[in-house]
Amino acid sequence: MSGAVENAPATATAPVRRSRDVPMLVERARAGDPRAVARLITLVESGDEVLPQVAAALAPYAGHAQVVGLTGSPGVGKSTTTNELVRALRARGHRVGVLAIDPSSPFTGGAILGDRVRMQDHATDPGVYIRSMSSRGHLGGLSAATPQAVRVLEGAGCDVVLVETVGVGQAEVEVASLADTTLVLLAPGMGDAIQAVKAGILEIADVFVVNKADRDGADATVRDIQGMIALGERGPGEWRPQVVRAIAARGEGIDDIAAAIDKHRDWLERHGELRRRREARAAAEIEAIALGTLRDRIGSLRDGTQLPTLAAKVAEGAIDPYAAAAELLAQLAA
């Protein structure tokens, strides 16, 4: 899908570049037009008023793609590993979508969006679509628009969607709620391995990838992770995270990573966990949309008198904040 962007005639871009014709965009995205895919994701990212139409048009195609998340600290090789995984998946004949989330500046809101630059090997492959997205201040390693962007790529016929997170550290666990399988990447020489896998990271990993395994300390890193896994409590039949070594820069260990992803996928399907995870993902999407709508409505109240009046009463002690919040919610429900 990505390869046709620069080669198509200019006349083909005109109806798509600024179009808000959702049925046409979805039809062309389904046919593999990368411009239509790009336009749909742009509508998603911008929160355009046609977003509900986009979601409705894409709904019949939901759940067909395998979603794999890649997370880990900056410098562990997430982009390189993603690039090599794309190569391995394409060798299997899969259509692949990549969402690479980059951090945005807290001052300007801008982002380098450099992960796509690292994946130029696939720039001319029509079976690959790569999109860099700015986090736009959203915490957890993803962009707020990522779940709907995944749906766009599913609708565009991707068999596998790889979601590469920002790489912000131990609190970057939101990807686990989005992905069917979550890879946590570590590298020797980047600090205490126990430090690297604590504080939630251990709990979200389905597969640990010790990248740059040719470095000193790789064996110790693997042992530390395996020791931490052994300490975890698991019931009969529960998934035990796999630990895989790789040197992504040389393409080594990528087949082992793909095999671990396949093994986890088989386990998910056998135990009904795939359905449970996807239902949990849908619940999170519904909740986020509902809360976003409520925030917008509360924001609109700031232009009226209801919220300022309640705030004044709380400030002078005439009413407590819980009672004020209850009154505000009643006003919203009216």
* Mean pLDDT confidence for 86-95: 96
**pLDDT score, position 112:** 46
| Better-predicted residue by pLDDT, 178 or 197 | 178
What is the DSSP code string of 257-292? HHHHHHHHHHHHHHTTHHHHHHHHHHHHHHHHHHHH
| Better-predicted residue by pLDDT, 244 or 2 | 244
Q: Where are the domains of the chain?
A: 63-285, 299-333
30 vs 254: CA distance, rounded Å: 29
Label residue 145 by pLDDT band (50, 70, 90): confident
Q: Identify which of 28-37, 119-128, 184-193, 281-290 has the greatest average pLDDT.
A: 28-37
**pLDDT score, position 84:** 96
Label residue 117 by pLDDT band (50, 70, 90): low
Cα within 13 Å of Cα(195), Cβ side: 8
CATH fold of the domain at 63-285: Rossmann fold (3.40.50)
- The residue type of 260 is A
88 vs 246: CA distance, rounded Å: 14
* 159-168: pLDDT as tens digits: 999 999 876 5
Label residue 12 by pLDDT band (50, 70, 90): very low
Burial of 69 (0-12, 13-18, 19+ CB in 10 A): buried
- Mean pLDDT for the chain overall: 82
Please enumerate in sequence order all residues whose Cβ is within 8 A of that of 312, keeping only pairs 6 or more positions apart, or say none: none
**pLDDT score, position 1:** 60
**pLDDT score, position 107:** 38
* 121-130: pLDDT as tens digits: 777 888 999 9
How many residues appear in the chain? 334
* pLDDT > 70? residue 83: yes
**pLDDT score, position 135:** 60
* 91-111: pLDDT as tens digits: 999 999 999 987 644 333 444
- How far apart, in Å, are the Cα atoms of 45 and each of 54, 66, 145, 267? 12, 22, 5, 33
Please enumerate in sequence order all residues whose Cβ is within 8 A of that of 5, keeping only pairs 6 or more positions apart, or say none: 34, 35, 38
| Better-predicted residue by pLDDT, 291 or 193 | 291
Quick one: tokens of 71?
């997370």
**pLDDT score, position 139:** 43
226 vs 237: CA distance, rounded Å: 18
**pLDDT score, position 247:** 97
**pLDDT score, position 137:** 46
* pLDDT > 50? residue 307: yes
Label residue 173 by pLDDT band (50, 70, 90): low
Q: Which of 1-10, 174-183, 226-235 has the lowest mean pLDDT?
A: 1-10
